């Protein structure tokens, strides 16, 4: 069974979203730049929570899945990353190589699967 290791907030402006998510979740989240998500078409910032889950802020950098999500749903929680079995190499992402889950809605919110051995700290 897979478990959630991260959640992603879709935004059109990373700096504003960083302050908003800090207020929303409380605590002292320290965001830093991360690799982009090629699958979603997004530049990313990430922060680790005290319980070990990652929070990733995503801003579109292409007219891809994330831009389409924002057009349909607006800003908000858009992605869950889960640990899973190795099923292919995946595409680079903010938490490590990721792939789309098979049973997700085309319009999002999205589920991305990470290979447990490749989750990057």
pLDDT digits (tens, 9 = 90+) for 95-104: 999 999 888 7
Q: How many CB atoms lie within 10 A of CB 84?
A: 20
pLDDT value of residue 117: 53
Inter-residue contact 30 to 54 (CB < 8 Å): no
User: pLDDT tens for residues 59-104?
Assistant: 999 999 999 999 999 999 999 999 876 566 788 999 999 999 888 7
Neighbours of 14 (CB within 10 A): 17
Domains of the chain: residue spans and CATH: 4-118 (3.10.180.10)
Average pLDDT of the residues in 18-35: 92
- Token pair for 95: 């938490």
Element (H, E) at 24: helix 14-25
For the whole model, what pTM was predicted? 0.90
């Amino acid at each position: 069974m897979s478990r959630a290791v991260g959640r992603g907030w879709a935004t059109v402006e990373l700096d504003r979203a960083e302050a908003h998510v800090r207020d929303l979740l409380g605590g002292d989240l320290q965001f830093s730049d991360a690799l982009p998500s090629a699958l979603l078409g997004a530049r990313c910032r990430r922060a680790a929570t005290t319980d070990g889950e990652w929070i990733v802020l995503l801003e579109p950098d292409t007219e891809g899945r994330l831009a389409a999500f924002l057009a349909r749903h607006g800003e908000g929680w858009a992605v869950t990353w889960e640990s899973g079995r190795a099923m292919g190499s995946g595409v680079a992402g903010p938490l490590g190589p990721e792939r789309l889950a098979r049973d997700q809605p085309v319009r999002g919110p999205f589920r991305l699967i990470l290979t447990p051995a490749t989750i990057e700290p």
